[in-house]
């Protein structure tokens, strides 16, 4: 994986991020989702480098081989605002004062917070398989609660750590053929570590508390994404089924938004890397 990429662990203040990067030209920051590591981008990142971009692929704080602070009762250390701050410092260290952002799943919420808090740093942004957290919570239906029950289970104190930690392989079911063997092995090693499991759960606990409050404050203040936004979603996942047209929802949050579905399951970077890379190259060109 990631042939020709540099790999290092970089201190960004509150966290130490495991990072891969390569290329020359405009920078693209790739942010993974749950329960993946940055290795989920292994079929997409090299093509973006070949297209003339610099590509930066971190593990989010607490995920994969990255570390972060201990959780607190208010979940702030694992808020999207805190993780977005990691990314600002990471890109500063690597010499990028402006860059593109791509976020998938939980990484999309980091990307949203990054462009809202630091719009001067972001050129364009692509968000995959997500709508804002508050939009989901205000649309709760029995179908959503049934299919996305993990949001609320993960938010419970202590119990999820015990349940998942008892048999991580049974909980996090991966497919080495779909994922790629090296990606699978990196992911499997990470998800067997108790500190990683806890950090991933804190991500969700922050989502339903402090991240939700931050999004509500943004909306009340009339803050919007003022950079071009590309929204992509997996047609064989359930986002569109549950909420309707994601682009229509994002129009309330962004001034310039476009998007469409990709014929894929949830992990489109692994399942439809060529189609995804093509969409990103066109959008960031």
The catalytic residues are: 105, 266
Q: Tell me which residue of 112, 60, 55 sits closest to 83, measured CA to CA.
A: 60
Residue 140: count other Cβ atoms within 10 Å of its Cβ: 13
* H or E, element range at 166: helix 159-166
β-pairing, 99-104 with 54-58? unpaired
Question: What is the spatial order of strands in the sheet that 6-11 belongs to?
Answer: 6-11, 16-22, 54-58, 27-31, 99-104, 122-128, 229-234, 257-262
Q: For residue 128, what are the contacts with CB-CB under 8 A and spacing of at least 6?
A: 102, 103, 104, 105, 108, 231, 232, 233, 234, 268, 269, 276
Residue whose token pair is 């989702």: 33
| Dist CA 57 CA 39 (whole Å) | 8
Structural tokens at position 139? 């649309």
Take residue 252 and report the two structure tokens written for it: 């309330």
Structure tokens at 98: 């402006």
Residue spans of beta strands (DSSP E) within the chain: 6-11, 16-22, 27-31, 54-58, 99-104, 122-128, 229-234, 257-262
124 touches 227 (CB < 8 A): yes
Q: Residue 18: CB partners within 8 Å, gap ≥ 6?
A: 7, 8, 9, 37, 38, 58, 59, 64, 65, 66
Q: Give the span between the Cα atoms of 78 and 238, in whole angstroms.
A: 26
């Amino acid at each position: 994986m990631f042939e020709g990429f540099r790999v290092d662990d970089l201190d960004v203040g509150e966290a130490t991020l495991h990072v891969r990067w390569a290329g020359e030209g405009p920078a693209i920051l790739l942010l993974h989702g749950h329960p993946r590591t940055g290795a989920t981008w292994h079929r997409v990142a090299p093509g973006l480098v070949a297209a003339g971009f610099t590509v930066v692929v971190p593990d989010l704080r607490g995920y994969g081989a990255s570390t972060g602070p201990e959780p607190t009762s208010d979940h702030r250390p694992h808020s999207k605002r805190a993780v977005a701050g990691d990314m600002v410092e990471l890109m500063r260290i690597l010499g990028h004062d402006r860059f593109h952002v791509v976020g998938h799943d939980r990484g999309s919420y980091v990307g949203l917070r990054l462009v809202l808090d630091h719009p001067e740093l972001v050129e364009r942004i692509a968000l995959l398989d997500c709508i804002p957290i508050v939009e989901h919570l205000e649309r709760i239906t029995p179908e959503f609660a049934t299919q996305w029950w993990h949001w609320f289970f993960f938010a419970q104190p202590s119990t999820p750590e015990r349940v998942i930690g008892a048999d991580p392989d049974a909980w996090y079911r991966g497919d080495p053929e779909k994922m790629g063997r090296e990606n699978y092995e990196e992911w499997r090693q990470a998800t067997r570590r108790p500190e990683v499991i806890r950090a991933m759960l804190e991500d969700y606990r922050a989502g339903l508390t402090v991240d939700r409050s931050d999004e509500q404050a943004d909306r009340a203040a009339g803050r919007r994404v003022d950079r071009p936004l590309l929204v992509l979603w997996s047609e064989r996942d359930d986002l569109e089924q549950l909420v309707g047209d994601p682009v229509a929802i994002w129009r309330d949050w962004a001034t310039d938004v476009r998007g469409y579905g990709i014929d894929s399951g949830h992990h489109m970077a692994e399942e439809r890397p060529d189609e995804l890379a093509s969409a990103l190259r066109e959008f960031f060109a």
